[in-house]
Every structure is written in structure tokens, then in C-alpha cells.
């Protein structure tokens, strides 16, 4: 019974996120999942650059599943410039995931929090 979740237990865990983004993993992206007061879900492109249009078809359905129970606190991207990472933190709250980032990046991160 350890694999059966109770009715009110959250379904959001590393396995759920990786299964949801399995096609990105197949393309060589690293999927990040960190739990704490908030949950971080990220996509690391490592040495390649990526555009939002390259991952949105996989990421948006995950967000749509989660939006009933979670809200996006912020999103950010990291770009590589002259040997250093630069982070661009997106607008706080009410982020429209479809309207972000036309630029290239190497790391995308979304931080969510359970709705109260």
C-alpha cells in the first residue's frame, strides 16, 4: 500500500513531473524538481541553448494540470553570457506562461506554491 496515495495527498512528486516531461528528458534536457516551502520545477539545457517555444508544448500541459491546486510564484531563466550565468526573474504572481521569454536560455525554472 505504500504506492497508493490517500485521497487528499498531493500527486505532485518527482516521478509525476518527470513522467509529464519525459519527452524533454528524451531530448537530453535535465528535469529539476525540488521540494520545500515551495516547489521548484526546472529544465536545464546544459551546454545547449533553448527557446521557450522548444519546451512550451511539454511544459504548458503540466502547468494546466497543476493550476487547480498550485499557483505560480515566479519563473526565471538563466542565460549564458561571457562565461557567467545571468538570471532574469519573471514577474511575480499571475504570470501568463504563454507570454514569456522569446530569448534563448540554458535554464528555466518555475516556482509554485500550494493554494490556500
- Is 101 a domain residue? yes
pLDDT tens readout for residues 30-54: 999 999 999 999 988 876 777 778 8
CA distance 115 to 102: 29
- Is 87 a domain residue? yes
Q: Is the pLDDT of residue 98 over 60?
A: no
- Is 7 a domain residue? no
- Is 3 a domain residue? no
Q: Considering its fold, how many domains does the chain have in total?
A: 1
- Is 33 a domain residue? yes
- Is 9 a domain residue? no
- Written as nine digits, the cell of 102 is 522569446
Specify the pTM: 0.75
Domain range spanning residue 73?
14-114
Please give the distance of CA 3 from its chain centroid, rounded to a whole number: 24
- Is 2 a domain residue? no
Which DSSP string corresponds to 58-93?
HHHHHHHHHTTTEEEEEEEEEEEETTEEEEEEPPSS
- Is 89 a domain residue? yes
CA distance 116 to 31: 27
pLDDT tens readout for residues 65-77: 888 899 888 887 7
Please give the distance of CA 52 from its chain centroid, rounded to a whole number: 11
Amino acid at each position: 500500500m505504500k504506492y497508493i496515495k490517500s485521497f487528499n495527498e498531493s500527486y505532485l512528486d518527482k516521478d509525476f513531473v518527470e513522467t509529464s516531461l519525459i519527452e524533454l528528458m528524451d531530448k537530453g534536457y535535465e528535469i529539476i524538481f525540488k521540494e520545500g516551502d515551495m516547489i521548484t520545477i526546472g529544465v536545464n539545457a546544459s551546454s545547449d541553448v533553448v527557446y521557450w517555444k522548444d519546451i512550451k508544448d511539454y511544459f504548458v500541459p503540466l502547468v494546466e494540470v497543476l493550476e487547480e491546486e498550485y499557483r505560480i510564484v515566479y519563473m526565471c531563466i538563466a542565460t549564458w553570457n561571457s562565461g557567467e550565468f545571468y538570471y532574469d526573474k519573471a514577474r511575480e504572481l499571475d504570470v501568463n506562461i504563454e507570454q514569456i521569454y522569446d530569448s534563448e536560455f540554458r535554464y528555466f525554472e518555475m516556482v509554485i506554491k500550494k493554494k490556500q
